[in-house]
A and B are shown apart, each in its own frame.
Chain A
Amino acid sequence: MTDATLAAAPSAESLFRRNLRDFRRNRLAMASVAVILIFVLMAVAAPLIAPQDPNETDLFRRLQPPGWAEGGDWAFPLGCDALGRDILSRIIYGARISIFIGAAVIFLATGVGILAGLAAGYFRGWVDVVISRVVDILLGFPYLIFAIGLMAMMGPGLLNIVLALAYKEWVIPCRVVRGETLAVRELEYVEAARALGAGPRHIMWREILPNILSPVIVVSTIRMAHVIILEASLSFLGLGVQPPTASWGSMVSDGRAFILEAWWVSTFPGLAILLLVLAINVASQALRDAFDPRFSE
């Protein structure tokens, strides 16, 4: 009888590894990952790579053009802003804010979303009704307006930005988790675990969660790009990180008044936002193709 078992062992790797290999084969995705890594590295090692102190003002360098332009100085490669601060250094430091807030919000929101979604999908009944209604209500508000209102109430500050964005962001993973949980909880292997005497904790964490994690990770990555834009928007409106701390959103805002005579003040931080968000989006798209079986052929 053991003969039956000798044949056919398709590949000695887990589903996860196979998906990861698919992802690695996607060149565009790998390029995006490289861009993201560069930004992360920039954020972490900001004091080491920034050529200047990002907050040092010098009115003699006010609106100094980029290094290659006439009147530029290569010590300040991307030029200076209205207070004579080095734009490149501020972009490098600004990456810290964008990435920290993006990651913190997504981390918090995904955690809360998984808990709420699992509970709603697994227990159903009134738990589901309460959680789903809260989700519906939160989805009814326009995101930015909601965040602006919260920021106005709580006042500025890094932690407050994270909270203001996470307040609403968790509904996205929550809905994904709830839907997936509803589907997976009906599968026979969940029933098998129950038949073996497993309780809800084991079933939710060990049987259901590992099987729904892929779509959650994919969605969270996509949303991270969104959160970075929202943070920039809040900062642009003056409700985000307070001066003089460098943030891409407030830098774009600062340059607004001089957009005609000093285009570089707004443009470079804007490009930074664009590049990071684009890279995250491309990477998450590839992640989805590789990990979410519904999108693979």
Chain B
Amino acid sequence: MSLLEVTDLSKHYAGRPSLGDRLSGKRRTLVRAVNGVSLAVERGEILGLIGESGCGKSTLGRAILRLHEPTDGRVVFDGTDVTALPAPELKAMRRRMQIIFQDPYASLNPRRTVAEIVGLPLALHGLASREEARAVTARVLERVGLRAAQLDRYPHQFSGGQRQRIGIARALVSNPEFIVCDEPVSALDVSIQAQIIALLLELKRDLGLTYLFISHDISVIGYLSDRVAVMYLGEIVETGPVAAVLDNPRHPYTQSLLSAVPEIGTKRARGRVRLQGDLPSPLNPPPGCKFHTRCPLAVAACRTLAPETRTVGPGHSAACHRLDEGLSLLEGAR
């Protein structure tokens, strides 16, 4: 059984109707940030979740942890339905499911010391007495590459990379099994980014952790994930083992995403797919396949009918009407 199983998860936000809309009696607008997403994460693996800004990947991560209450669907963690848990049990569950945030500045309370920030889960869950908490916190801090002597410092006394280490320590201190990494390296400089990635991989190996790794950076996802899920406008368009998705992407969106990444050294092996236009607004998503407005392969059916997710290889599936025709944007552009 998978450690985490997400079934048909949706998160919709009611948009505020403008005065004009209200006067003309229009209905409330609905932002479908996450729309019927299903995915599974196996124990000990890294599932990379990739997508552009506004595709709902961060919302999905937060809905799984119930930081944003899901509108619909189920999240089952280690056999327990998280979506149905009452508050006290949910609190207990939070020890086992953690999150690392993108912004190393906004995610640490500037008025609290490192000891207070990292030790918070111990206090909240009564995991350790005061003196023990300090010792545990110091140990975790050293585990992530900081020093115990820095316990009583404030966040502003650290650099971005060090702050991200503090955020990682906070997520680790309650011994979780599963961590949502929400763009943990996107705000960091290249050399620091590599340090944090190396640390996250090392921790995963040593502590047997499972990650849902959210990123917009295909290089990062491709480097560290075991499996990949590609998200577009609130839906998963393709999932599969990292090698299959990267080497043989089947959804035209995945193909265009891969071809857009600038490469170093090797002269571009693949052609470049030029996508037309911008990401449509999730307030007013196109009907049918949501990608059809930008898809060079779109046909009449794509404009009206949402494609079903189909298996295209071992553990590899995609949602596109034109899968069978064996078309590839990359072929055409070569």
Contact = CB atoms under 8 A, between A and B. Distances in A.
Determine whether A and B are in direct contact in the complex, meaning some CB atoms lie less than 8 angstroms apart.
Answer: yes
Contact of A9 (B98, B120, B157, B170): B157
Given A5-B147, A192-B99, A210-B111, A14 B67 contact: no
Contacts of A11: 157
Contacts of A16: 111
Interface in B26-73: 62, 65, 67
A202 B111 contact: no
Contacts of B205: none
Interface string A173-215: 0000000000000011101111111110010001100110000
Contacts of A2: 145-147
A125 interface: no
B120 A193 contact: yes
Interface stretch (B159-167, B206-214, B229-237, B310-318): B159-167
B299 interface: no
Contact of A211 (B62, B110, B120): B110
Contact of B124 (A5, A14, A188, A197): A197
A131 to B, nearest CB: 20
A190 to B, nearest CB: 8
B109 A207 contact: yes
Contact of B195 (A4, A15, A191): A4
Contacts of B92: 197
A8 interface: yes
B107 A196 contact: no
Most buried by B among A187, A196, A207: A196
Contacts of B102: 188
Given A10-B156, A187-B106, A191-B101, A198 B162 contact: no
Contact of B94 (A4, A195, A210): A195
B125 interface: yes
Interface string A1-30: 110110011111011100000000000000
Contact of A188 (B90, B106, B121, B157): B106
Most buried by B among A8, A191, A197, A207: A197
Contact of A196 (B62, B94, B156, B158): B94
A12 B103 contact: no
A9 B146 CA distance: 12
Given A192-B170, A197-B121, A12 B153 contact: yes
User: How big is the B interface, by class?
Assistant: 35 or more
Summarize A's interface: helix, strand, loop or mixed: helix
A36 to B, nearest CB: 27
A15 B154 CA distance: 8
A16 B107 CA distance: 19
A196 B154 contact: no
Interface in B130-177: 145-147, 150, 153-154, 156-159, 161-162, 167, 170, 174
A73 B196 CA distance: 80
Interface residues of A, number: 29
B146 A192 contact: no
B108 interface: yes
B94 A197 contact: yes
B91 interface: yes
B95 interface: yes
B185 to A, nearest CB: 15
Nearest to A188: B107
B101 to A, nearest CB: 5
A207 B124 CA distance: 13
A288 B158 CA distance: 26
A218 B67 CA distance: 33
Contacts of A202: 124
Nearest to B106: A188
B97 to A, nearest CB: 8
A253 B86 CA distance: 64
A4 B157 contact: no
A181 B156 CA distance: 21
Contacts of A14: 111, 154
Nearest to B161: A4
A14 B110 CA distance: 9
A5 B156 contact: no
A5 B94 contact: no
Contacts of B121: 196-197
30 contacts: A1-B145, A4-B145, A4-B195, A5-B145, A8-B162, A9-B157, A9-B158, A12-B153, A14-B111, A15-B110, A15-B154, A15-B156, A187-B106, A188-B101, A188-B107, A189-B106, A191-B62, A191-B99, A192-B170, A193-B120, A194-B67, A195-B65, A196-B98, A196-B174, A197-B90, A197-B92, A197-B121, A197-B124, A211-B109, A211-B110
- 7 closest A-B pairs by CB: A188-B107, A197-B94, A1-B145, A210-B111, A197-B91, A188-B106, A189-B109
Given A4-B162, A14-B154, A197-B125, 4 more contacts: A1-B199, A2-B146, A195-B67, A197-B94
